[in-house]
Amino acid sequence: MSTVEKIQRQIAENPILLYMKGSPKLPSCGFSAQTVQALSACGERFAYVDILQNPDIRAELPKYANWPTFPQLWVDGELVGGCDIVVEMFQRGELQTLIKEAAEKNKDAE
């Protein structure tokens, strides 16, 4: 399986997916930490990929997503954005709605 196929599968299989540096419990950069905080406050489970442990994904994802930086939040197969966008959406109440809807949709699918 190529790296791009691996990325596509991760995005397809996880309705709420965060590509980040480190893990939600131990983020390795401030931007990842802020993004995890906003996501966690939404109260739904989310998957994550530690790009520091996956250099192939770290190299390919920016090209695939056409987004140069990490973290990257993907919801329902769509790139939402990075730290600034996620935190802004959280402050406006948009992130909570997006995350809840994605979680609901996928509860129905299970």
The annotation places the binding site for [2Fe-2S] cluster at 29
C-alpha closest to that of 51 among 26, 25, 29, 22: 22
Q: Which residues are annotated as a binding site for glutathione?
A: 21, 58, 70, 83-84
Long-range CB pairs of 88-92 (<8 Å, 24+ gap) are 89/38, 90/38, 90/41, 90/42
Q: Which residues are annotated as a binding site?
A: 21, 29, 58, 70, 83-84
